[in-house]
Structure 1
Amino acid sequence: MITGSLQNDALNVDRELVALLEKLSGRSRRKLSQEIARDLRRTQLKRIAAQKNPDGSPFTKRKARFITVQNGMKFLWRGELRNLKNWQFRKGRHGDMVTGFDIERSAVRSFYKRDIQRFIEVKKNRIRSRVKSKQTRMFKKLGSSRYMLAKATTDGAAVYFAPQVQRIAQVHQYGLKDRIRPNVEVQYPARQLLGFTPTDMQHIEYQIVSWLTKI
Structure 2
Amino acid sequence: MAELQKVDDWLSALLANLEPAARSRMMRQLAQELRRTQQQNIRMQRNPDGSSYEPRRVTARSKKGRIKRQMFAKLRTTKYLKTSASADSASVQFEGKVQHIARVHHYGLRDRVSRKGIYTIYAKRQLLGFNVQSIELIERMFIKNLT
TM-score, normalised with respect to structure 2: 0.89
How many aligned positions are there? 144
1:211 aligns with 2:139: no
Contact kept in structure 2, 1:151 and 1:157, CA below 8 Å? yes
Structure-2 separation of matches of 1:58 and 1:31: 34
Match of 2:11 among 8, 17, 25: 17
Contact kept in structure 2, 1:34 and 1:151, CA below 8 Å? yes
The amino acid that maps onto 1:32 is M
Match of 2:132 among 178, 198, 208: 198
1:187 aligns with 2:124: no
Structure-2 separation of matches of 1:11 and 1:160: 25
How far is the alpha carbon of 1:160 from its aligned partner?
0.5
1:38 aligns with 2:32: yes
State the Cα deviation string for residues 21-62 of structure 1 (Å, max 9, x = none). Answer: 112111111011011001000110011000000000000100
State the Cα deviation string for residues 145-179 of structure 1 (Å, max 9, x = none). Answer: 22111111011110001112100110001000002
Gaps of 5+ in 2: none
TM-score, normalised with respect to structure 1: 0.62
Q: 1:205 to 1:130 in 2, by over 3 A?
A: same
Structure-2 separation of matches of 1:12 and 1:140: 39
* Larger Rg belongs to: 1
Match of 2:87 among 154, 158, 179: 154
Over aligned residues, Cα RMSD in angstroms?
2.0
Q: 1:166 to 1:48 in 2, by over 3 A?
A: same
Describe the SS at the equivalent of 1:163: coil
How far is the alpha carbon of 1:144 from its aligned partner?
1.6
Match of 2:107 among 174, 185, 188: 174
Gaps of 5+ in 1: 1-8, 68-126
State the Cα deviation string for residues 69-90 of structure 1 (Å, max 9, x = none). Answer: xxxxxxxxxxxxxxxxxxxxxx
Structure-1 separation of matches of 2:33 and 2:6: 18
Structure-2 separation of matches of 1:166 and 1:28: 30
Contact kept in structure 2, 1:66 and 1:129, CA below 8 Å? no
Identity %: 38
More strand by share: 1
Describe the SS at the equivalent of 1:21: helix
Contact kept in structure 2, 1:55 and 1:197, CA below 8 Å? yes
Structure-2 separation of matches of 1:14 and 1:54: 21
Structure-2 separation of matches of 1:180 and 1:65: 13
How far is the alpha carbon of 1:11 from its aligned partner?
8.9
